[in-house]
Structure 1
Amino acid sequence: MAQTFKIKAAIKPYSLDFTFDAGTSRGVLTEKQTHFIQVQSPVFPDIYGIGEAGPLKGLSPDDLPDFLDRANEVLNKLEKISFSKDPTTILTMLSEVGLDEYPSLRFGLETALLDLVNGGTRKILPNSFYEHGSAIPINGLIWMGEKRFMKAQIDQKLQEGFECIKMKIGAIDFEMELALLESIRKKYSKEVISLRVDANGAFDPNEAMVRMERLAKLEIHSIEQPIHPGNRHAMAQLCRTSPIPIALDEELIGINDFRQKKALLEDLKPAYLILKPTLVGGILATQEWIRLAEDMGIGWWMTSALESNIGLNAIAQLTSSLNPILPQGLGTGMLYRNNVSSPLVISSGKLRYDKDRFWSIPDWNLDD
């Protein structure tokens, strides 16, 4: 069999509909536009690989009005390339074809090509999550909204057995958010329930410390992106003096050069990194961030960026391959009423791959 192969590829948009109005500091979400990438090759007859490119509106570098046109241009170029069948070489080749400005597209292509060379079975990387059904602990995400809605989410997550709760804060009523967090802490110590908060950059730099000091009284595990990204001096000072460990998220977007990544971490010295492969440039880029973080004693966890189960599956397998220690942010599979049916299952605060369940993926003819 040939050691290289050429592909035929197609990309199709798909609209994911939320089961509720998902409130964030950047607005309320009712739907998520994503794109499925399908690749085939005569070298791998009768199978296909599938990936997901889902730019996050208002945040992804490739959230562009002409994203689909640009993606098709990239696919046309890739159809002229002879790819190696070696997964590591495939990732390297994709990192060398100039996709830095299209991080979600690169991640979708990495996923689709790795799926193809692994037999079209939705296996992306060697990992115990897919191969042995090993469960990944995840945090239960609490979306912004009215107090009753947020409290109902908290009660549900606790009943479902989550031991780590993450609450989005900073854009509605801080006193109400504090009260909700306090209600959890009154019932459960930090040894029983770990509390994370995510400000999505909503705090004003001048008020951030005061708010974090109040949050610290509730023994918060960490605060994600307290101020808007790009204010490096203020963020560095907060990382040094905050009573709550700070995790960087949006701060990592758009930084592709290894030296720039290293300089950012050396300057800010955060406690944690939050890594979204769709936003930071895919599998290789995520692995590079993690190597740097671990070399500097910085913790990390992975988070999905509102992908469907196709993207979530790839992120979960990547996570598993990296031997995670902390609960991960991989609970987005239940957000949509029209998600792709998959073997991904959440139970007792953990995500697992149940091989007794099957994929039901929208299919199309690449000649359409």
Structure 2
Amino acid sequence: MRAELHPFRLALRAPLVTGGVSVRHRAGFLVALSADGITGWGEASPLPGWSRTTLLETEAALRRTLDAVKAGGEAALDGLLDDLAGTPHARAGIAGAWADLQARRAGRSLAEHLVADPTGAPARSVPVSSVAVNALMAAPAPSEVEAAARDAVNSGFSTVKLKVGAADLVVDIDRVRAARAGLGPAAELRLDANGTWDPATALAVLDRVQDCDIAYCEEPVTGIEAIAAVGGRSPVPVAADESIRDEAGAVQALELGVGTLIVKPQALGGPDVALAISARAREAGASAVVTSFLDSAVGVAHGLHVAAAVDAAASRRRAHGLATASLLATDVAEVPVVVAGAMAVPAGGGLGLAPR
């Protein structure tokens, strides 16, 4: 088996301030695993200020593991993936490339591969062919938020997420009200505070915008127990995002009553881990929303196939957070475009795309 790393650095069209961190570019590695003339692709791209591991630590884990793959071949992969639990971005890159390679070999999409029964029995669900996605808004001024919300609805989005927490409390409340005014009564409005509030602030803001019909607020505070505590007192439902580091964290959030889990395949360790966490949410009667981690086209494509697999088994399908490619000035491949608030799942083998 051939194993390669391809570094990338992609500029954003404009800096994105999220959770108090200004993101200007995305850097990481594409992982290529090849056998029998077929190549599978994965992505490993930790985000500074967010990820538990740095880019250098991720690179070291990738190179060490890929050297072992070259020596041990495919038979060594399962054990090597277990060893990468502490470096989830490296695991995501290798697990993603391996899953893509297997799907391409079988002549089926990655989503079909993810829902396939490992025994060869017929799959219990069929992945959807397109996935609803939310628009993302982060404009600082209420007037800009209202205009962006109106544009999103006119473009066919039925769900919009507004970043909050970077502005003064009063300004944020005005921004939320402006978003609802621009969206009208029918569209779903989500908030994302990225853990920037303390419990008192979170409860104060959410209490004052409860009449805006908020679907949920992601990470109003930091930490699973704190999020659940806010959720127990808030008139607005809460969701856990970056506080979920692994499957154990997801289980804890569900046991504490958090009703929505935000699932980032690239941050959690790959498509298999993301799908397992989503299944846990479904079994608990909660929702799983699959989102990008400001990924390149390869990471977004992995998320898209995971979302298609999640939607195949979901009793209630939610819009996913995968419409992020437009934030990048350049990319490693063409990503499916958003049409009327949805992204088509690439047909054919594996991811349905390959880097340029």
TM-score, structure 2 length as denominator?
A: 0.85
2:102 alignment partner, one of 97, 117, 124: 117
Q: 1:1-368 alignment to 2 at 5 Å?
A: 7-41=1-35, 44-45=36-37, 47-83=38-74, 92-93=78-79, 95-96=81-82, 98-119=83-104, 123-126=109-112, 134-147=129-142, 149-186=144-181, 188-190=183-185, 192-229=186-223, 232=225, 234-253=226-245, 255-256=246-247, 258=248, 261-266=250-255, 268-323=256-311, 324=314, 325-342=317-334, 344-353=336-345, 359=353, 361-362=355-356
CA deviations over 1:244-283 (Å, ceiling 9, x no partner): 1110011211x35x4x6434421x2111111111122222
Residue 118 of structure 1 aligns with an amino acid whose one-letter code is A
Q: Offset at 1:132?
A: 8.7
Return closer, same or farther for 1:250/1:82 CA change in 2, 3 Å cut-off: same
Q: Distance in 2 between matches of 1:316 and 1:350?
A: 11
Residue 254 of structure 2 aligns with an amino acid whose one-letter code is L
Q: Offset at 1:306?
A: 0.6
Residue 73 of structure 1 aligns with an amino acid whose one-letter code is R
Q: Distance in 2 between matches of 1:273 and 1:263?
A: 11
Residue 91 of structure 2 aligns with an amino acid whose one-letter code is R
Residue 306 of structure 2 aligns with an amino acid whose one-letter code is L
Residue 282 of structure 2 aligns with an amino acid whose one-letter code is E
Contact kept, 8 Å, 1:111 with 1:124, in 2: the verdict is: no
Q: Distance in 1 between matches of 2:271 and 2:128?
A: 21
Q: Offset at 1:71?
A: 1.7
TM-score, structure 1 length as denominator?
A: 0.83
Contact kept, 8 Å, 1:343 with 1:355, in 2: the verdict is: no
Return closer, same or farther for 1:293/1:133 CA change in 2, 3 Å cut-off: closer
Q: Hey, which of these two has a bigger chunk of helix by percent? A: 2
Q: Offset at 1:29?
A: 1.6
Question: SS at the partner of 2:112?
Answer: coil
CA deviations over 1:72-110 (Å, ceiling 9, x no partner): 1121112223326xxxx96x55543x1111111111112
Q: Offset at 1:332?
A: 0.8
Contact kept, 8 Å, 1:24 with 1:144, in 2: the verdict is: no
Q: Distance in 1 between matches of 2:178 and 2:297?
A: 32
> How many pairs does the alignment contain?
338
Question: SS at the partner of 2:337?
Answer: strand
Q: Distance in 1 between matches of 2:345 and 2:272?
A: 23
Identity of aligned residues (%): 24
Contact kept, 8 Å, 2:138 with 2:163, in 1: the verdict is: yes
Residue 265 of structure 1 aligns with an amino acid whose one-letter code is L
Question: SS at the partner of 1:344?
Answer: coil
Which runs of 5 or more residues in structure 2 are unaligned? 115-125
